[in-house]
A and B are shown apart, each in its own frame.
Chain A
């Protein structure tokens, strides 16, 4: 970042201002002028007005309206323009021109009685305002149609977004529930492993011989096969299912070694997420229930 280098004995204001602007430029990344910022804002608005599903020429309509908005004020509208001279004119062709000249000649006499100047000026102003208002109303009406279309598109998009959001919320809730279940299962498995390390030495000798040998599918006996068949239809797929299944099989083997289901794991469901890669994933007991 540009640092200020100011020598007290020789100050140059223009140089300081240059440094100051360079510093600002570095801060902002680029030194935008007010006009540039407005231009950027317009670009954003253009993008907003021109999404894929909006009528393709809507943006053009808006732009055209904007260009016409100021030019239209001077155009001839339904309300005729009024000039102070109009009150002296006549619409009767040749006689009208004579009348006009006559009235102009007699105008000083009229001015002896009243001063029509302020009156005519006021009428002229009213006429101008009326013309402007008419032009404005016409523009407004045309813009309203376009605004309605934009509004309609906005409502459609908002509804779509609201539905999407609802779906996403439900998906998040589902994922949270599964996560919660996995955590509980993990805790249950930890307790089983703890139980095995505590219980095995008392019944089967050394800890290394506690678990019977499992095959690669984690099968450990006829009982396990029966249980596995019963629950196969409810298993889901999952990339992280295999390790969990192996752990479950290990846990089942450990319990068979122990001879019966233990009170510690009643109510736990460690094998719920076992996938096709671990079809042989064993259930610790048949009377457990899923959450």
Chain B
């Protein structure tokens, strides 16, 4: 079996969520099937500037074919189109122009997909919202398997997004909440889908003693790993923690790992370690009392899974459906929706050692059951085999007709933000065990109904 993995950026040094996800999956699946990665020459996700050489390359033993991006992103143009499609009544043509302005627009990549589709058995597309996913899925319908990595953002409410979700041959979801969200917006229950997520490889030998010796931190601490950004909920985290430090605990510290985009408050108990190596990151997780994830929007938090793999409980933002759902299903952390809940939950984790240990153990069990690489690989391979059988024996999947010239120009699409605002909220029900692998849509519907 030959598999193509299509993603907007690819490289060993590229650490964006979906890109890292794609690299992990490509590298792990390359042990079972032949894998080729198709991507652009861009490295920067804001400008999409061509920084890497076009042509064939290899990253960690996986062949990579790069295609140039035709145009860099113009932020003003992108902002203008975003306003048009997110806040106003618009046409499908407007949405396509929005997608072009978002980038990375690489017609060469789509042309290659169209011409060489027959040489691949399946094509795995990452990130629904980009040019390659929309045009690629349309060009290679019967082979297109989509890993949407969708969050609750306005792009989800676009008509072209719904078409992509309905047009793919199968979907590999990151979480139950993501699946419920996509079903609600695209009504694509008929498309086979499975909640997979991504595995994580925890290197052995993480040492909290090494971390404490290196940093000199002897007190208990709560750890944040990721981009230090307002969009990730860090401003709220700083506010809550400084209040907690003043009112509740005299020892607890906040340790930050990652690149800062916003200013970190100067507080004697907040420590920023900057960008660290993988080994240092795992040492920090091993030494932490808990990992905090304050983000409002996540399709899957990989660092949360890593913390669970290392028996560390997590404290997450309860307003993020995915994180809250994961924590409830795993029984491996607490969540908060206000400062009072944050303070109570953190105090509980800080003072109740037995609880901390029990939550950590649950996290480890949950990780082993659902996010060990063997499980994730097994789900991918099972889905591909299922599709191969269905393509060979079953009826051809129905194809949604393309909108005509006039239909594309008719301004009848409602503002995308309005659609997303109307979507159901809250964590999905505990259907993990029963609705695991769904190719008919029945169990999926059940999951959506129980919300």
Contacts and interface: CB of A to CB of B under 8 A. Distances in A.
Contact of B358 (A11, A14, A21, A34): A11
Contacts of A11: 331, 355, 358-359, 362
B352 A4 contact: yes
Given A4-B348, A24-B340, A34-B338, A9 B358 contact: yes
A interface, by DSSP: helix, strand, loop or mixed? Answer: helix
Given A13-B328, A20-B345, A24-B344, A8 B334 contact: no
B358 A13 contact: no
A8 B331 contact: no
Contacts of B352: 4, 6
A134 B362 CA distance: 59
A16 B348 contact: yes
A270 to B, nearest CB: 57
B328 A14 contact: yes
A176 B432 CA distance: 76
B341 A13 contact: no
B310 to A, nearest CB: 18
Contacts of B333: 13
A12 B344 CA distance: 16
Interface in B331-384: 331-335, 338, 340-341, 344-345, 348, 352, 354-355, 357-359, 362
Given A6-B354, A8-B354, A13 B348 contact: no
Contacts of B331: 11-13
B328 A20 contact: no
Interface residues of A, number: 19
A73 B327 CA distance: 43
A164 interface: no
A23 interface: yes
A121 interface: yes
Contacts of A6: 352, 354-355, 358
Contacts of A121: 80
Contacts of B345: 17, 20
A272 B382 CA distance: 106
B335 A17 contact: yes
A121 B80 CA distance: 9
Nearest to B347: A20
Contacts of A27: 340
A168 B110 CA distance: 84
Contacts of A13: 327-328, 331-335, 359
A13 B341 CA distance: 13
Contacts of A125: 80
Nearest to A122: B80
B296 to A, nearest CB: 15
Nearest to B330: A13
Interface in A173-189: none
Contacts of B344: 20, 23-24
Interface in B314-336: 327-328, 331-335
Interface string A1-38: 00010101101111011001101100110000010000
B79 to A, nearest CB: 11
Nearest to A24: B340
A20 B355 contact: no
Question: Could you say which of B345, B357, B358 has the most chain A C-beta atoms within 10 Å of its C-beta?
Answer: B358
Contacts of A34: 338
A11 B329 CA distance: 12
A24 B338 CA distance: 11
B82 to A, nearest CB: 13
B230 to A, nearest CB: 19
Interface string B3-16: 00000000000000
A-B pairs with lowest CB-CB distance, top 9: A8-B354, A8-B358, A11-B358, A6-B355, A20-B344, A13-B331, A24-B340, A11-B331, A13-B328
Given A8-B355, A20-B345, 13 more contacts: A4-B352, A6-B354, A6-B355, A9-B358, A13-B327, A13-B331, A13-B333, A14-B328, A17-B345, A20-B344, A20-B348, A24-B340, A28-B340
6 contacts: A11-B359, A11-B362, A13-B334, A16-B334, A24-B341, A121-B80
Interface of B: 80, 327-328, 331-335, 338, 340-341, 344-345, 348, 352, 354-355, 357-359, 362
